[in-house]
Structure formats: structure tokens, C-alpha cells
Amino acid sequence: MPSIPTPLPDGSILAALDLGSNSFHLIVARLEHGEIRPIHTLAEKVQLAAGLSGRQLSEAAIERGLACLERFDQLLQSVEPSKIRVVGTHALRRAKNRRLFTDPAEQILGVPIDVVYGREEARLVYLGVAHSLADDEASRLVVDIGGGSTEFIVGQRFEPTRMESLQLGCVSYAGEFFPDGEISKKGFNAAFERARVEVSHIRKGYNTRHWQEAVGSSGTFQAIEALIALEGWRETGIDGKSLDKLRKRLLKYGHADQISYEGLSDKRRRVLMAGIAIAMAIFEELNISSMRTSTGALREGLIYDLVGRLQHEDVRERSINALVGRYSSDSAEAEMVAQSTAWLTGCVADVWELTSTDTELLCWAGRCHAIGTGISAKHYNRHSGYLLENCDLPGFSQGEQELLGTLVRGQRGKLSEDLMDVIPEQRRARVTKMLVLLRLAVVFKWVERFEDLASCTVTAKSNKLQLSFPHDWYDSHPLTTSELRAAIPSIGKLGVTLQLD
């Protein structure tokens, strides 16, 4: 199994980059006595969502995003790549052509970009907010209005209990209901009613019966709070009465460019009315009387999640444990496949240039290789792959879930031509080698004790794998021997020659 990392030393520098639908947010921070101390924070309104049409990112939006990353990369040069986490949210989730952005972006940053599902985004937002507030027993509703989606989380202390992501955001609503910055009562009412309908779908699970305090974590809520304070309606926080006053005040303008408040940027002006319409709908549908704001958000959540991963307090481990338990797969067999996978990977990692992250994902794939038997024993690998790709797995990105699904679907049987379609082309060679190891590990599940593999010597070259056993081993394990010999042709189709000595 993967080795347990040592605790991060004080003074460790970490970085997180949130590629949001409205803004890109970067934080570089230092770990001090278990707490995160920001060193640098940067934010730039790129508005990817404004360039999203028909689920295609425009060339202009891609260029804006890449230009921003070129600037941000200067700050990231001093941070070890293993201590950087980059995620994409709603706009990149929606874009079918996102690789036109993510591939060159990864070249610029030198680290992978994880596009996360909505509920995973919600979990990370809550983690960032929870670390910015008092560590008390109060249950909280956290709301984050983004450029393309809004996340809702109910939780207590550092643990979320309910999470949801709805497709309503200030950039997408601004484009639809306030085109070219035009402000009208008709447009505002249409945006408000649309948002009310969306929020009504989650009203039962997120109303005031389920929490004691409401917290807004986005730039939208912070901008609204600042304008309310400038008007003198409240010193801090937001309430329904002040929101309505702000709505009436801003509807007097005919165009967003005419809105004049100290400190309000031009790009924020363009999405302000949409943000207020969404905020008012949330207040009304969830029966919120008042809300405080928090500076903690997704990027801070990413930093704390990264610290957990580096210190082996990884929420992904809990997610896999829950999934294996839920589908009642054979735990002993699952552990045997996971151990065999880790052992094989350790033998070839240097030659095949596999990383510690590859090893972790392979071990998780091994543990989950047979969860599909809970649905049907026939074609269980396909069912297992489907579950891994489509279940809510806190901690995992969309790309990680797709990779796990690909590995598990390809663990046995005929290799389909479209197996690697969801894997970025530049990663397919490495994923193919990972699949070879998983297919072999699945064969070794017939060995009764992991210790029985200790007498095997594994030698790897770029496209060759040699397994050497004592001669009496084959006689003692006839089923495994038969399966190993049967695996030679399929592994050959993956571009690796398997030799048994």
C-alpha cells in the first residue's frame, strides 16, 4: 500500500488556484503551527462563463484565461509542484472543449488541472469557510454564488452534512437577463423568478430548520455587503430589507456602467444586478433573515485539503472505504488486489515513471475493482467502472473518477476501442502502463496470501515486464499460472510484452 507521508514541517509553502467561472483566485500560503498563513493572494476576473456558448468555450475566453495564468505562474515558480493544487469549476465542467484550455494551461503551470463536480466544489468551499470561522458547535448554511453555479452546504464545524450545486451564477445570469449591461425591472424580475424556481428544488433540505447561521462566501456577497455598508443600512452582514433597498437603488440606473460606488470594479458592475437577483431569491426561498460573510472560500478549502492529502488525512480514503462498504464487495479479495497493485507499482515505478499519485489511484482502483458485483456478477467490471465515474466521491476530481472508471472497466476481458477516450491524449501512455499493472493484480487475487508473491522478481523495461518465480511456484498455484499465461495476449495489445520465467 502507499507509504504514509511524514507530517509537513512548519514553514512549508503551498499554493492553490481556483479557476472559477467568473474569476481566477490564487493563494500562496505558509504552514505555521498547523494553520495556514497567506503570503500572496491574487484574483482576476477572467469570466470564462461569459465565453461559454453551446457548451463550447470561445477562443477569446480561452485566451483570457491563459494570459491570466501566464501572470499567476510567476508567483508559483517558487512553490514545489507537489504542493500546488489547481481546480476548475462550473465553466470547465460544462465546456466540451475544455481541453483546448486545460492542456496549454497545464503546460504553463507544470501541474495537472482537476475539474471538480459541483458537490466536490461545495465541499471545498465549506472547508475554506469553516477554517475562517469560530470552531463552535453551531450548524451553518454556507452559500457561494459563482459565475456559473451556486453551491449550498449545511455543516457543523469542519464536516459538511448536505451539499448541493445549482446552475445559477452571476455571469451566466448577467448575460441572459442583463445583456450588454442593460438594467431593467423586467430583466431583474425574470432573473429573480428563475433563481427562485431553481432554489425551490432544494428548499426542503436547506431551510432554517437545518441550520443556525447563514454565511455567504463569494465575492458577490462581499460586494453586496460593502454596498449596504456604504449606504449606511447596516454596518456588517446582509439582510432581506437591505437587499431590497439596494435593488431599488440600482434599478434607477439604466446601464451597469452608470453604477458609481467607490471600490466597485467595472467587471463587478456588469454582474452585480444578477448577483443581487440570485441573492434575493436565496433569501426568500430558504427563509434567511440575515447572513454574515466570510473571506474563506474555495481557494482556502483547496489549501486545507492539500495539507490533508500531504499528511495522509485524505478524504478520498474515506470515500473509497464508504463505497466498498456500501456495495459489500469481498474485502479480503479487494485488499489482496490493492496490495498486489502497490507491490507491482513499487517494482516498476522508476522505470515506467509512475508517481505516488498514480500508485494511490491504482490501489483505490484495486480495492474497488469488484464493487460492481453488488449490481450484477456478469460484466462486473463495467458496473464497477460506472459506479466509480458516477457516484459522489468527496475528494476526487472529475478526471480522477474518470481515470478510476477507465482502469476498472479495463481490468479484464476484451479491451474496447473507446476505453481511453476520456483520458487526455498526453496521459494515455502512462494510464496504459497503469492498466497493465491492475490487470496483473486482478490475476493475483487467486493467490491466498500476499506473502506468496514475495518470491517473485519483477523486472521492467520501457515496454517489457518480466515475472520470475521459483519453478515449484507454478505447480503450487495452477489457477494463477493459467490466468497469467492467458493474460499475455491482452497485455501485449496494451503495448507491453509480458514474459514469465
Residue range 223-265, pLDDT digits in tens = 999 999 999 999 999 999 999 999 999 999 999 999 988 888 8
Residue range 195-211, pLDDT digits in tens = 999 999 999 999 888 99
- Reported as a pLDDT band with limits 50, 70 and 90, residue 1 is very low
Q: Which range has highest mean pLDDT (24-33, 186-195, 417-426)?
A: 186-195
pLDDT given for residue 475 in this prediction: 86
- Angle between helix 315-326 and helix 298-310 axes, rounded to 10 deg: 80
Same domain, 104 and 138: no
Q: 58: which residues sit within 8 A by CB, 6+ positions away?
A: 51, 52
Same domain, 106 and 142: no
Same domain, 265 and 153: yes
Residue range 43-83, pLDDT digits in tens = 999 989 888 888 999 999 999 999 999 999 999 999 999 99
pLDDT given for residue 150 in this prediction: 95
Q: Are 48 and 65 in contact (CB under 8 A)?
A: yes
Strands (E), 351-444: none
Is 126 among the domain residues?
no
Q: Comparing 288 with 36, which gets the higher pLDDT? A: 288
Q: Which among 242, 277, 307 is the end of a domain?
A: 307
Same domain, 85 and 143: no
Is 491 among the domain residues?
no
Same domain, 395 and 435: yes
Same domain, 268 and 143: yes
Q: Are 299 and 16 in contact (CB under 8 A)?
A: yes
Identify the H or E element spanning 40.
strand 35-45
Same domain, 325 and 283: no
Q: Which among 265, 294, 323 is the end of a domain?
A: 294
Identify the H or E element spanning 143.
strand 139-145
Domain of residue 375, residue span: 314-450
Q: What is the mean pLDDT of residues 103-119?
A: 94
Q: Which range has highest mean pLDDT (97-106, 264-273, 437-446, 449-458)?
A: 97-106
Torsion of CA 65, 66, 69, 74, to 10 degrees: -150
pLDDT given for residue 134 in this prediction: 67
pLDDT exceeds 80 at position 220: yes
- What's the rounded Cα separation, in Å, for the pair 376 and 371? 9
pLDDT exceeds 80 at position 6: no
- What's the rounded Cα separation, in Å, for the pair 242 and 149? 24
Residue range 418-435, pLDDT digits in tens = 999 989 888 999 999 999
Same domain, 169 and 276: yes
- Reported as a pLDDT band with limits 50, 70 and 90, residue 3 is very low
Measure CA of the first residue to CA of the last residue in the chain; give whole Å: 26
- What's the rounded Cα separation, in Å, for the pair 120 and 491? 35
Residue range 377-393, pLDDT digits in tens = 889 999 999 999 999 88
Is 413 among the domain residues?
yes
Is 336 among the domain residues?
yes
Same domain, 356 and 250: no
Give the three cell numbers for residue 48. Answer: 470564462
pLDDT exceeds 70 at position 355: yes
pLDDT given for residue 329 in this prediction: 67
CA triplet 351, 353, 356: central angle to 5 degrees?
Answer: 120
Q: List Cα–Cα distances, 180 to 50, 255, 274, 319, 421, in angstroms.
A: 11, 8, 13, 44, 38
Q: What is the CATH number of the domain that holds 399?
A: 1.10.3210.10
Same domain, 141 and 275: yes
Q: Which among 229, 263, 294 is the end of a domain?
A: 294
Residue range 267-296, pLDDT digits in tens = 889 999 999 999 999 999 999 999 999 988
Of 367, 373, 377, 273, nearest in space to 316 by CA: 367
Same domain, 45 and 86: yes
Question: Domain tally for the chain?
Answer: 3
Q: What is the CATH number of the domain that holds 103?
A: 3.30.420.40
Q: List Cα–Cα distances, 250 to 170, 259, 272, 323, 416, in angstroms.
A: 16, 7, 9, 49, 57
Specify burial of residue 383 (Cβ count, 10 A radius: 0-12, 13-18, 19+). Answer: buried
Amino acid at 355: T
pLDDT given for residue 206 in this prediction: 94
- Reported as a pLDDT band with limits 50, 70 and 90, residue 2 is very low
Is 371 among the domain residues?
yes
Is 92 among the domain residues?
yes
- What's the rounded Cα separation, in Å, for the pair 164 and 143? 10
Q: Residue 25: beta bridge partners?
A: 18, 43
User: Residue 421: how many CB atoms within 10 A of its CB?
Assistant: 10
Same domain, 110 and 140: no
The overall average pLDDT reported for the chain is: 90
Is 490 among the domain residues?
no
Residue range 290-341, pLDDT digits in tens = 999 998 889 999 998 988 888 777 888 888 988 888 886 677 888 888 889 9
Q: What is the CATH number of the domain that holds 237?
A: 3.30.420.150
Is 434 among the domain residues?
yes
